[in-house]
Amino acid sequence: MISGKEPLNVGIMSCAHPRALSYVKCFTSLEFVRFAGIADDDKERGSSFAERYGVQYFSSYDELLKVVDVAVICAETAKRRDLVVGASNLGRHVLCEVPFATDIDGVREAVDVCKNAGVKLQPAFPCRFSPAAKQAQDYVTSGKIGRVLAMKGAYRSKYPGGWFSEKSLSGGGAVMHNTPHAVDLMRWINGAEPAEVYAEIDGLMIPGDCDDSAIVSVKFSNGAFATIDTSWSRPKSYPTPTDASLVVVGTEGSVRLDLYGGQKMDVYCGESDKHDWVSWGDNLDLLMLRSFVESIVNDTSPVVTGDDCIAAFTATIAAYESAKKKEPIKL
Amino acid sequence: MRRVAIIGAGGMAGSHAACYDKIENAELVAVMDVIPDAAQSLAEKYGVPAFSDAEEMFDKVEFDVVDVCTPTPFHTPYIKMAAAAGKDVCSEKPLGRTMEQCWESINVCKKAGVTLFVAQVLRWFPEFRRANELVKSGVVGKPAVVRTTRGGGFPKPPSNWFADFEQSGGVVLDLLIHDIDWLLWTFGPAQRVHACGLTFAGIEDTDYALITIRFKSGMIAHIEGSWATPDAFRVAFEIAGDGGLIEYTNEKSSPLIFSRWASDESAGRVPVPVPSSPMSVSPYYLELKHFIDCLETGREPDVKAEESAAAVQLALAAIESIRIGRPVDLA
């Protein structure tokens, strides 16, 4: 709980990532936060976003950083590391989309600069904050399904379009952006580290040479093995933009988790021919942001840390390497 | 009219016998099982003679077709016996326990000029047949990522030969051969397979496998197979392509659920829902009717024995991948 302290000023750096809009909505309802506004190096994109959603637009990142305590970075993947460095140098706490950079050195640098600057850094892993995922983690870690033997995970989404398929900005496609979320969930629930990675990766659905189809296999340090479907395989008409699911098989039982396929209702709109899943469950972005704000106000470690991002990203990079070499990669 | 003798009087023999009883141009004339009681109880049901010795049955009864429903390693010996006697053959899946067995069966039948039909019944399951047709009609465009799920608890037949890897080949060869055959039938030949599994983990009455297959077309397939989870038997598939997505799960496909109260000494009245999916004709009937009709008209059956051999080859490659922890290239 937060009480008796000054509210935190929060700003968003770039709205390149679609989650920026969700964050704006969350911050306007989040207690103990004053939402300052948004800056974007793409002036057209930033100002039209600000106008459309009625928030303050800052003409430069420096202007924004002057007035905030917390920077939320939603930039293109290749630009994130520099923004983390810039924000942390000014002593701002950082919540950043995943991964923090397109290569492991960049991710490590982002984590190191925040440690050295004494600011908090949290990767945007909203799945961690799902009450259902927490329950699953509790079932597993308390031994209710015995020893973990295997996991089957999926973190799929629609092709997000735009810069995501431009390698100079994204560093990669579906594997780069979906794998870390699934690996993080598995590390946390299984309580072990990825030890070996094998992957089949290809670009089979969207034009260009960007990867969109992938099955990543991970062997964990406790002997459990897993696969993850990280494809951009949800078509435009799919009723949800992202689906995240996990099956955990243990010696005494199993757990099946479906983060977006549960706690929803099917809505069919007659006018637009659209079918949507409308969630009535918790807003995971909101729970994630609240947790980060609490960690700042209470000066505790964030629930998910930069080191978690490094671990998940290491497996992600190994997946690309494995697909290229057609052999398993030991970590 | 084709007169059929069944060899091996286990669960599958019971299903086949019920189908032959309904098929107008087929007649069950004898049942043989090395366990005399098993042969006797199935034979009695249809008023036909029972045998515990195959040669005696071949000597004493006139028939046209042998239906081999034994545990896997015994398919080939009985297929050879049938071919030598000039009988056409239906063999349960998988065709053989080893590739040597598969080719031996194919060759002896070819030499003898008899038909060898492998009961890949999944091809007659209406959801799998419909999906095959939809894919071939181009509904999903070019297939990219295909996923299948099959399984539940460990099989518990009267004689537990499934638990003996040397006999059954575990969950991969015995159960996932269904999905493997369907994938090869629907999507063409495979290039490479990587699998993780509990086949050699030495956990009693537990097997589980996650298989990734790269097809020659570039498509990536993922198969989950479980003899490990205390769930109801689950079957699901998903076909994602550059033009669309097909999703199916048996959990959401039962048109009928029958529920009744059962009494439990400690819990009192407990509800027992039994979902079912009745059809006017069963997949087993359609499969065997097709086989008998092919024999009557001289047509080659839709399942070629060589295709079944290719499915066994892929399953054995997956088992090899589990054993060595590396991907296996297919010739």
- Write the pLDDT tens digit of every residue in A46-89: 999 999 999 999 999 999 999 999 999 999 999 999 999 999 99
Instruction: State the pairing for strand pair B207-215/B190-197.
Output: antiparallel
* Rounded CA separation B69/A105 (Å): 59
pLDDT score at B241: 97
Whether B198 sits inside 8 A of A205 (CB atoms) is: no
Q: Name the band, by pLDDT with cuts 50, 70 and 90, for residue A1.
A: very low
Q: Searching chain B, which residue's CA lies closest to the CA of residue A254?
A: B229
Please check whether residue A211 touches B, CB under 8 A.
no
Sequence ranges of the domains in chain B: 2-119, 123-282+311-329
For an interface test with A, give the residue of B139, B149, B219, B220 to mutate (most A CBs within 10 A).
B220
* Rounded CA separation A112/A104 (Å): 12
Please check whether residue A243 touches B, CB under 8 A.
no
Q: Which residues of B touch A256 (CB under 8 A)?
A: 231
Q: Searching chain A, which residue's CA lies closest to the CA of residue B215?
A: A200
Percent with pLDDT over 70 in chain B: 99
Residue range B25-43: mean pLDDT, rounded: 97
User: What residue type is A159 in one-letter code?
Assistant: Y
- CB A172, CB A104: distance < 8 Å: no
CA distance A167 to chain B (A): 20
- CB B250, CB B235: distance < 8 Å: yes
Whether B194 sits inside 8 A of A225 (CB atoms) is: no
* Rounded CA separation A96/A169 (Å): 16
For an interface test with A, give the residue of B139, B145, B205, B330 to mutate (most A CBs within 10 A).
B145
pLDDT score at B294: 98
Residues of B with CB under 8 A from a CB of A: 142, 144-145, 147, 192, 194, 196-198, 201, 203, 206, 208, 210, 212, 214, 218-220, 222, 224, 226, 228-231, 240-245, 325-327
CA distance B231 to chain A (A): 8
pLDDT tens profile B85-112: 999 999 999 999 999 999 999 999 999 9
In DSSP notation, B93-114 reads SSS-SSHHHHHHHHHHHHHHT-
Tokens of A191: 């309580």
pLDDT tens profile A93-114: 999 999 999 999 999 999 999 9
pLDDT tens profile B62-89: 999 999 999 999 999 999 999 999 999 9
Query: Is pLDDT at A124 greater than 80 in this prediction?
Result: yes
Q: Name the band, by pLDDT with cuts 50, 70 and 90, for residue A3.
A: low
1.20.120.450, 3.30.360.10, 3.40.50.1100, 3.40.640.10: CATH of B123-282+311-329: 3.30.360.10
pLDDT score at B71: 95
Q: What angle do CA B90, B19, B38 make, to 5 degrees?
A: 75
Which one is predicted more confidently, B327 or A270? B327
Helix B177-187 to helix B305-324 angle (10° resolution) is 120
pLDDT score at B158: 64
pLDDT score at A321: 98
Query: Tell me, what's the ipTM?
Result: 0.92
- CB B93, CB B181: distance < 8 Å: yes
pLDDT score at A270: 79
Q: What is the dihedral of CA A140, A143, A145, A151, to 10 degrees?
A: 40
Query: Is pLDDT at A216 greater than 50 in this prediction?
Result: yes
CA distance A213 to chain B (A): 6
Percent with pLDDT over 70 in chain A: 99
Cis ω for the linkage preceding B275 (within 30 of 0): no
Which one is predicted more confidently, B85 or B261? B85
Please check whether residue A195 touches B, CB under 8 A.
no
Query: Is pLDDT at B201 greater than 50 in this prediction?
Result: yes
Helix B177-187 to helix B126-136 angle (10° resolution) is 20
Whether A152 sits inside 8 A of B224 (CB atoms) is: yes
Whether A217 sits inside 8 A of B219 (CB atoms) is: no
For B144, the closest of A233, A247, A327 (CB atoms) is A233
Query: Is pLDDT at B264 greater than 80 in this prediction?
Result: no
Whether B210 sits inside 8 A of A235 (CB atoms) is: no
CA distance A321 to chain B (A): 15
pLDDT tens profile B153-174: 888 766 688 999 999 999 999 9
pLDDT score at B269: 80
* Rounded CA separation A324/A313 (Å): 17
Query: Is pLDDT at B268 greater than 80 in this prediction?
Result: no
Q: Name the band, by pLDDT with cuts 50, 70 and 90, for residue B259.
A: confident
Whether A254 sits inside 8 A of B144 (CB atoms) is: no
- CB B318, CB B211: distance < 8 Å: yes
For A231, the closest of B145, B197, B214 (CB atoms) is B145
Whether B212 sits inside 8 A of A200 (CB atoms) is: yes
Give which of A89, A135, A138, A140 is closest to A112, Cα–Cα.
A89
Whether A233 sits inside 8 A of B196 (CB atoms) is: no
Q: Name the band, by pLDDT with cuts 50, 70 and 90, for residue A209.
A: confident
Whether B210 sits inside 8 A of A217 (CB atoms) is: yes
Q: Which residues of B touch A229 (CB under 8 A)?
A: 145, 147, 222
Query: Is pLDDT at A29 greater than 50 in this prediction?
Result: yes
- What average pLDDT is seen over chain B? 95
Whether B212 sits inside 8 A of A212 (CB atoms) is: no
Whether A234 sits inside 8 A of B245 (CB atoms) is: yes
- What average pLDDT is seen over chain A? 96
- Domain spanning B2-119, CATH class: alpha beta
For B218, the closest of A196, A202, A227 (CB atoms) is A202
Q: Which residues of B touch A206 (CB under 8 A)?
A: 242
CA distance A325 to chain B (A): 11
Q: Searching chain A, which residue's CA lies closest to the CA of residue B211?
A: A227
Q: Which residues of A touch B222 (CB under 8 A)?
A: 215, 227, 229
